[in-house]
Amino acid sequence: MSLLFRKPTIFNAKNVLLRQNDVQILLLTSKNFSAVPTIYDGESDPAPKFFSSNVQVLLKRLTRPDFNKVFRKRTNSGFPVLKTPQYKFLTTEQLEAEVAKSRARADQLLQMPPVVKVQTHIKEVLSRDPALIGFDTAKYMFTDITLGVDNQHRIIMERDTDGVLQSCDPDVRKRLNQIYFPIKGRKIKEPVMFTDPERFNSLLDREQYEFVLDRACIQYEPDEPSYQKITSVAYQHVDSRKNYGLLRSTRHFGPLTFYLTWHLSMEGLLLELLQNNVIREAVLLVALRQEVHGDVANGSAAQGLVAEIMNTPIQLSKPESLTEEDIQLDTKCIDCIEQYISANSSMKSQQELALQGFREFYQQLIDLSRGVRKAHGNA
Amino acid sequence: MAFSLNLRSIILNRIIRSDVRFGFRAFSDAADGAAEGEEQDNGAAVDPTKDRTKVIPLETSMKYMQSKAYNQTYGESPVWFLYRRNHKGGFAPRKTRKSCVRNGMISTGNPCPICRDEYLVLHHQNTNLLEQFISEHTGQVLDAFKTGLCQKKHKELLVAIERAWDQGYLTYDVPFREYDYSLYNKNNETTKNKV
């Protein structure tokens, strides 16, 4: 009898344990961030839009380059000993030349990784030689290692064991290219941080977005599906946590903005811009959406404002005083954003609140700067 | 009474037996633990601070890195900071010693910074420890000449850091990659060629 009684109790205990485990797993999944990786593989190709000069200009401006961040101290020189800095006395012209040089250098450092459609591999057969069937137990790879040919156009062929001479898979191509013409920092074997979702998510949770994206740039080609999956998950994570500031003034902000705009999910970014009182960039974002999709109600107005905004300097910090032109431009921007929110936005209430907050802040600023000018006797 | 006496004797017997058994077990355990060398016979003389046969789990080490005891010992500076090598003459040899531990015992009077503290475990997840061996200026692993690690531990360190970089436990500044836009902007290229 005792045996009979015991058995069900054991089963019950097991059931309870199992149930508890289930609950834990569910909790974990709900705690963890889950994003669906997406790739640019639809009908439309993002490349022409991304490379068009209008979009490039907008993306570069939205990056809001801060030279302190662009030229931050980096440890990727590869030299075991640091170079000693040079201190010089310069004339004004020389100084201007140096500043121009460092601007060019910043542009170079901020070059955006290209956003292109995912590649499709077509197997091209050069010849079939049945006489060679069983010539060896292994494939033979042939690589043209002529200098001055880029990796994409290099001729790499494989002779299969069944005598077919054909072009090879993209990953084999990549490996051979890396063997003969190594890219610094790229590994032949994929890093575990990209292959293991747990490690990848832990990196995102630690908000190491720049590292993840930089490394993805090195490890993968921009038209590889795995690159686009990794970056899309990272962008979605940034968007869900509103961590735009971490990527701002890095080379990845442009592709992030483009990604969000392409998938029509840039409302969070717009809200962040409104909350941080950069109304002009909000207009640029609306203009970007108009460029990419052309579905904004007052799109042409926003695009008209772009040229005016481009002439003004970048707003890195809160403006201290406003000129009358600034006030005119900003009121136009406010109108534009208001129309956008009422017509196109999917986050209306929050954005309206943020815009209202900005209006109040701006009114104070206007009063202050006008008052100061009056006190100085200028107006 | 007789019954109670009987009971008492039984209990006493049990205790004595179990004692004997326990003693025997303890003895046999000691013999098992140090079965490798001849030294286990005078096992009582083993200095517990020099014994390195016990494997410290990673979790303990990571907890230790955050603890008050660690802070009291090392403060804010890296674990190798106050370590000085013993050497003849004015210049230290380029290579540090091969190993500080032989037959599971510290075999030197001045073990290296990792060997001297048994709770410092070189593992790719122990990033607080690994970070101390990476130069903040150049991003490269510091030489054993600077840190004083023995060759064995230095090799372990290199493996642990490489793993940590690979798995994303440690981040670093990735080399810059410049893109050639003409390769990706295909429409533009074709128009250029036509013109």
Helix (H) or strand (E) holding A117: none
Q: Is pLDDT above 50 for A297?
A: yes
Q: What is the pLDDT of residues A199-250, one digit of tens each?
A: 999 999 999 999 999 999 999 999 999 999 999 999 999 999 999 999 999 9
Q: Is pLDDT above 70 for A9?
A: no
Given an 8 Å threshold on Cβ–Cβ distance, is B138 in contact with A79? yes
Residue A146 lies in a domain: yes
Given an 8 Å threshold on Cβ–Cβ distance, is B180 in contact with A200? no
Residue A145 lies in a domain: yes
- Name residue A309's amino acid: I
Residues from chain A contacting residue B138 (CB–CB below 8 Å): 75, 77, 79-82
Q: What pLDDT, on a 0 to 100 scale, did the predictor assign at position A14?
A: 40
Q: What pLDDT, on a 0 to 100 scale, did the predictor assign at position A121?
A: 85
Given an 8 Å threshold on Cβ–Cβ distance, is A76 in contact with B181? no
Q: Is pLDDT above 90 for A52?
A: yes
The residue with greater pLDDT, B14 or A151, is A151
Residue with the two structure tokens 């809160």: A318
Q: How far apart are CA A329 and CA A338, in angstroms?
A: 14
Q: What is the pLDDT of residues A112-140, one digit of tens each?
A: 999 999 988 888 999 999 999 988 999 99
Q: What pLDDT, on a 0 to 100 scale, did the predictor assign at position B24?
A: 41
pLDDT band at B6 (very low <50, low <70, confident <90, very high): low
Given an 8 Å threshold on Cβ–Cβ distance, is A193 in contact with B179? no
Residue A48 lies in a domain: no
Two tokens, residue A207 = 């908000």
Q: Is pLDDT above 80 for A79?
A: yes
pLDDT more than 70, % of chain A: 91
CA distance B170 to chain A (A): 10
Report the domain count for chain A.
1
Q: Is pLDDT above 60 for B110?
A: yes
Residue A341 lies in a domain: no
CA distance B1 to chain A (A): 38
Give residue A141's domain range.
125-168
- Out of B138, B171, B176, name the one closest to residue A80 (CB): B138
Q: What pLDDT, on a 0 to 100 scale, did the predictor assign at position A19?
A: 40
Burial of A80 (0-12, 13-18, 19+ CB in 10 A): exposed
Two tokens, residue B1 = 């009474």
Q: What is the pLDDT of residues A18-36, one digit of tens each?
A: 344 443 333 333 345 678 8
Q: What is the pLDDT of residues A305-344, one digit of tens each?
A: 998 898 888 888 877 778 888 899 999 999 999 999 999 8
The residue with greater pLDDT, B99 or B47, is B99
Residue A140 lies in a domain: yes
Given an 8 Å threshold on Cβ–Cβ distance, is B185 in contact with A183? no
For an interface test with B, give the residue of A51, A154, A209 to mutate (most B CBs within 10 A): A51
Residues from chain B contacting residue A82 (CB–CB below 8 Å): 137-138
B110 contacts: CB under 8 Å, gap ≥ 6: B85, B86
Residue A67 lies in a domain: no
Residues from chain B contacting residue A211 (CB–CB below 8 Å): 168, 171-172, 174
Residues from chain A contacting residue B177 (CB–CB below 8 Å): 183, 185, 217-218
The residue with greater pLDDT, B191 or B163, is B163
CA distance A197 to chain B (A): 11
Residue A201 lies in a domain: no
Q: How far apart are CA A177 and CA A180, in angstroms?
A: 5
Given an 8 Å threshold on Cβ–Cβ distance, is B139 in contact with A75? yes
DSSP codes, B69-128: HHHHHHTTS-TTTT-----SSSS--SS--S-SEETTEE-SSS--HHHH-TT----TT-HH
Given an 8 Å threshold on Cβ–Cβ distance, is A218 in contact with B175? yes
A237 contacts: CB under 8 Å, gap ≥ 6: A33, A35, A204, A209, A243
Residues from chain A contacting residue B176 (CB–CB below 8 Å): 76, 109
Given an 8 Å threshold on Cβ–Cβ distance, is B140 in contact with A80? yes
Q: What is the pLDDT of residues B122-141, one digit of tens each?
A: 999 999 999 999 999 999 99
pLDDT band at B8 (very low <50, low <70, confident <90, very high): low
Given an 8 Å threshold on Cβ–Cβ distance, is B174 in contact with A150? no
Residues from chain B contacting residue A185 (CB–CB below 8 Å): 174-175, 177
Q: Is pLDDT above 50 for B52?
A: yes
Residue A321 lies in a domain: no
A/B interface, count of CB pairs below 8 Å: 87
Residues of A with CB under 8 A from a CB of B: 47-48, 51, 74-82, 108-109, 111, 113-114, 116, 150, 152, 183-185, 187, 191-193, 196, 199-200, 202-203, 208, 211-212, 214-215, 217-218, 222-223
Given an 8 Å threshold on Cβ–Cβ distance, is B185 in contact with A51? yes
Residues of B with CB under 8 A from a CB of A: 135-140, 166-169, 171-181, 183-188
In 3D, which of A310, A315, A235 has the Cα closest to residue A35?
A235
Residues from chain B contacting residue A196 (CB–CB below 8 Å): 167
Burial of A11 (0-12, 13-18, 19+ CB in 10 A): exposed
Q: How many CA atoms lie within 13 A of A76 on its CB side?
A: 16
Residues from chain A contacting residue B131 (CB–CB below 8 Å): none
Average pLDDT over residues A165-191: 94
For chain A, what is the mean pLDDT? 87
DSSP codes, A264-324: T--HHHHHHHHHTT-HHHHHHHHHHHHHHT---TTHHHHHHHHHHHHHSPP--S--S---H
CA distance A62 to chain B (A): 20
In 3D, which of A210, A285, A281 has the Cα closest to residue A251?
A210
Given an 8 Å threshold on Cβ–Cβ distance, is A193 in contact with B167? yes
For chain B, what is the mean pLDDT? 82
Residues from chain A contacting residue B136 (CB–CB below 8 Å): 75
Q: What pLDDT, on a 0 to 100 scale, did the predictor assign at position B45?
A: 72
Given an 8 Å threshold on Cβ–Cβ distance, is A51 in contact with B184? yes
Q: What pLDDT, on a 0 to 100 scale, did the predictor assign at position A27?
A: 35
- Out of A111, A193, A202, name the one closest to residue B178 (CB): A111
Query: What value of ipTM does the predicted structure carry?
Result: 0.84
Helix (H, G, I), strand (E, B) or coil at A259: helix
Average pLDDT over residues A139-149: 93
